[in-house]
Chains A and B, each alone.
Chain A
Amino acid sequence: MSSAVSPTLAPPERWWRSRTVRRFCRHRLAMFGVAMIVLLTLACVFGPYLLPYDELFIDLRARFAPPLTGWHFFGTDPLGRDLAARLFNAGRISLLVGFFAMLMSTMIGTFIGVLAGYYGGKIGAVLMRITDAFLSFPSIFLLLALAAFIKPSPFTITAIIAVTSWMEVARIVSAEVRSLRERDFIQAARMLGLSNRWIMFRELLPNAIGPIIVAATLTVARAILLEAYVSFLGYGIQPPLPSWGNMLNGAQQYLGSAPWLAIVPGVAITLAVTSFNFIGDGLRDALDARSDLS
């Protein structure tokens, strides 16, 4: 119908040629981040099949082999297990935990933020005070207290990280929704008699999606860091299941004799977290319409 009525209308812009995408692609650090994440993901998904060693194969004759001994690219650990194989398998767990923790915490934060921002008043005040209260705990204390008492598994760790890191998103979303609430298109939607739920999740949410995406990207970085902390301290992912954090767990005592045990997983964590931070920064610049002016 649209083509018949208004034949002069410009064809819809393809999303991959939009200004936002072009701006993002010009952001060098963000592109570096994307490339690193793709590489890391590919390595973690396919790496274990390409390596000659199984991540659980114990070879006591090859204990503490330094990197580049034979086929042990990153060396071996105190039990003679291949560090490269463990690193890639651990990456699967750590990246998955980071991703799903982001998904859960973004959903919690968005839900609370939209409710608080849309209803405002008493409901908004109560919800935002709860958010403030959660923010008053040093997050690592709360996280550890929960992790220490709940039986650890990849799922519970993910859930615990999500429960302790949704507050930023909630604040951002509620501020965004509050500024959008009085706009004309929302007034129009109200006059059309649309339900509150429809207005919140079909009208307001899509318009606040930019800051949510940025916050979500940065949350992945934070979640990977948090998982590493908790697992390093022994309350996170439990061996024999490897994660980047618990690979560092035993590394401190061998720091003098086998420093690669600490360096290899640490570099992997830093690379992944830096990449997600770069991507988040690039997205923020790309989604901010004002950034063209400066």
Chain B
Amino acid sequence: MAEMVKLFVNGQEVEVESGKNLIDAFEVIGIEIPHFCYHPALGSDGNCRMCLVGIEDGRPPLVPACKTPVSEGLKVQLDTEKIKKIQHDVMELELINHPIDCPVCDQAGECKLQDYYMSYDHQASRMRVPQVVKEKKMDLGCGVIHDQERCVLCARCVRFTRLITKTGELGIINRSDDARVALFPGRSLDNRYALNIVDLCPVGAMTSKDFRFKQRAWFLKRDKGICHGCSMGCNIFIDHNREKYKDDLIYRFRPRLNPEVNGYFICDEGRLGYHRENEGRLISARIGTEESSADQALQTARRRMEGADKLLILLSPNCSLEQMLAIQALAATTGATVSGFSDGSIKNGDADGYLIQDDKSANRAGLALLGVNTSPEFFESALQRTDTLVSFNNDLFITGPNQAWAKKLGEIQIIAISTHDTLFSRQAGIAIPTASYTEYAGSVINKDGILQTFGQAVCKNSAPLDMIRIAGLLGGTLTDPEALMQAMKRKIPAFAAIETDQIPEKGLKLSHNEAAHVTA
């Protein structure tokens, strides 16, 4: 717990954390100081002047709150007539050349200009001269669309490219009312985090090509999730909506602050990973070439598994810990060998030392924790001995069909429990659809040994079964949530050590011993 300091806001004494600036410190206790340019990840720039506050100690009459650290006994004024006038004037300045095209603007509903207009301005425009005309719908590259007329020149996007991605594509050129955000002529945005600019932009100047005109912000339901795009385990918001007479669809992923994992940002690949949750899914179960109900397919699968001589179960490194435990229990009941082989999901050399990792699966550390063998040798020898292969969402053909196993895979029975309609699931004798990671709740361990949970976000009209349920229907004994929780606690002492059954919001860092075990 950080040290606390006492200070006064509008004459009232409050206690806030030290070491922060006024904006951040007051936000925690529910006092808003309006601001455009300040962002905790980008530091205070002091260019927008919206956060000016008064301090009663002989300083200049007004100071920017973003550049003023809290200190003991500080007397801060937020509601004097002078401050209100300043806020009103800054808003009037920002709106002089703003097109006010909110009805067609994607930012509407989550726009600082809209919010602050209602809170701090609320006056008709006095401008009777033509507005300055600038460029609209500029394609900056990387799926970012820029509208110079909506821009308030807070320079968050410019600072993001200079301070975070260190690519520096953007700059604010010209001056006075002709100032605008622009790229150097002939160049475009070129970094793997560019779409964070869209989130950073406090107004509708930066919009995402992918999300533009798809959905109004206020229709979206925001659920917390964990990105399964790689082993970083970035925290995200899953923004989804079920339109009337339609299915529940995801419209975007947005980063969710977790200082222990991803900070304020996510990569573009992860952000656009939601498409895979909506598209290319395995819709209905299939036995041979015949479509069937999931029940029937599961019954047939169970009979084949019982009749199998040597059963091999293939686990995906994307499964949640709970699913892994349930499937391990299924393997114990059926006497199956379990492999977690999935080399295809590792892209060597793709990591960038920031958020993007080589390993494109979310829970490989979980496989290690549960002692599942992931070596190709083990898988290959098990494959040569087996006559029935059950894959739990592990796509063996993720990098294309493997010629080495083609003959063997042709000879054995394959039961594919799959979220997606893939080459592999199409080759399987039985294919059963299952819920994907936005459709179930679970826990995963990221590459740094941080255990994180996520809840169910999307609820499909014809919701495919979760893998835990499927494991139960195939003969597994460990499917009860409470029993799974206890099993997890037995495997993870750090989890057992905390009193509640809830893994903390920011994740649980596994102890050194466990981490060593994870990487073993």
Partners in one complex: no
Interface residues, chain A, CB within 8 Å of chain B?
none
